[in-house]
Structure 1
């Protein structure tokens, strides 16, 4: 009986030691697991912080179908999608609906406000309902453009009937309602060119007409603006504007809806800090002209200009 009792006592002690050992292992495992989980959570938090609080949210960008604005809007779209993990919806509209859309909140932002001349009437109308974040590009210009092989230098030269007959008294324009179209209508009145026709078309159609005429060295007059790829592809010149109808040098502004800073703070910050040069914009436009999609051209530029993009992300 004593031997049996001793054997039972020994087994009990062994069992107790095994349990203690297992408990120690579980404790160590739990500590290790907790440490791993803590590290994982920290990494997740860092990733979430890097992605930003706007990740997964949608932002609507309005733009006009000018080659310049196609370039800039797609670059901003690429940055918001790849750097902030946002969903970006593009809204191609005319200038009037672009501004009214920002004002009424149906669009969130645009990087296509030509000021102080081309879009000034829209800013005057909607200034109390939008937020102007200032220029994203300096050094723009608008006016009437002709190939350098045409022997005219000023809008006043269009009063010459010989010049009018060469182009059938027609100026090839872009979308109706665009600021440059309204300025050109004013120019026709100011310069006494009421017999002339301002042909409404689109930015793309105007460029094709210009290319066709240029290749055949035929006379043509178009509404033009800088930056634009056509100045890199063709030898062109602005007609002098002694009456100052088109104004001087302009800037392209970023304009957003009220409340965007509170709703999408990091997207707002990127839009506020977005700034580039005419050469930057023209690089994207030329790549599109040469056959790349706007998305691919924008992605290529963003990849090649990481330092500049990082400035927008600060």
Structure 2
């Protein structure tokens, strides 16, 4: 894990395009690292828009989950809003918790697992999958390799003795496959998490997990680099106060799925329509 994180740190630094760490950045420049998951895109763009309205220049940099954690730990990014704890990103946090500051949950009630459309009547538990493996083309449609959800799914395959193969991809390829199968009412099993717009658009159900491989409810946490409170107290305060409900996130996610949608524009729309909630972050 440490060797992987070290390699990813170098990649993150190159992708971030920084000659020095964020801690050395002058003026009002802020860098937020994020993974390109639907919920994280919403949270990142809302905070980015708000900070820009406060006069900051904000750079949002998409990275893999491991590189995102390492970027904040090394000071190459100021913050991230996508730390799923205690399970999904538990391994990253265990390795890097002494090098970052955890500001606590910005969203609660999050969940990960395997999901199928509700029209798949005979599969209600992960334990049911083997008996219906052929119906799913012997595949579980996954997201980006290395994601905590993918690691949990690999463990589920082992612990439940599943005959299905986990297919790597991305949020976009997974939801694309789901859309295609759903349109034709074909069986499909996908790696899933809440909040996500697909639960608002499609009728889906999580499969029961009697072995508890995917854990229970999770929180999505804000993690910042050490020294941010001293260097940028206003930014630190806003990040510390930022909280958003799953319903609000899923509302913006649905907006982002509309044709021609721009995440920056939808974030601004949400801020405009939720002034009281936003004002609470600025107190």
* 1:290 shift after superposition: 1.2
* 1:196 shift after superposition: 2.0
CA contact (8 A) 2:32 2:60 kept: yes
* 1:55 shift after superposition: 11
2:251 paired with 1:283? yes
2:217 paired with 1:249? yes
Mark the structure with the bigger radius of gyration: 1
Q: 167, 186, 209: which one pairs with 2:155?
A: 186
2:115 paired with 1:145? yes
- Which structure dedicates a bigger proportion of its chain to helix? 1
2:192 paired with 1:221? no
TM-score w.r.t. structure 1 length?
0.80
Q: 242, 245, 248: which one pairs with 1:274?
A: 242
Q: 27, 33, 36: which one pairs with 1:62?
A: 33
Distance (Å, rounded) in 1 between the aligned partners of 2:274 and 2:27: 25
Q: 1:224-260, CA deviations, whole angstroms, 9 ceiling, x for partnerless residues?
A: 0001111111100000000000000011000000001
SS in 2 for 1:217: coil
SS in 1 for 2:77: coil
Q: Which runs of 5+ in 1 are unaligned?
A: 1-53
* 1:204 shift after superposition: 1.0
2:169 paired with 1:201? yes
CA contact (8 A) 1:71 1:294 kept: yes
Per the alignment, residue 143 of structure 2 pairs with: 174
Distance (Å, rounded) in 2 between the aligned partners of 1:196 and 1:212: 20
SS in 2 for 1:214: helix
2:99 paired with 1:129? yes
CA contact (8 A) 2:130 2:164 kept: no
Q: 1:212-234, CA deviations, whole angstroms, 9 ceiling, x for partnerless residues?
A: 10011001000000011111111
* 1:140 shift after superposition: 0.7
Q: 1:16-41, CA deviations, whole angstroms, 9 ceiling, x for partnerless residues?
A: xxxxxxxxxxxxxxxxxxxxxxxxxx
SS in 1 for 2:129: helix
Q: 1:178-207, CA deviations, whole angstroms, 9 ceiling, x for partnerless residues?
A: 1100000000000011x3211000001111
Root mean square deviation, CA, Å = 1.2
SS in 2 for 1:127: helix
Per the alignment, residue 50 of structure 2 pairs with: 79
Distance (Å, rounded) in 1 between the aligned partners of 2:240 and 2:270: 20
Equivalences, count: 257
SS in 2 for 1:128: helix
Q: Which runs of 5+ in 2 are unaligned?
A: 1-24
Distance (Å, rounded) in 1 between the aligned partners of 2:174 and 2:128: 22
* 1:283 shift after superposition: 1.2
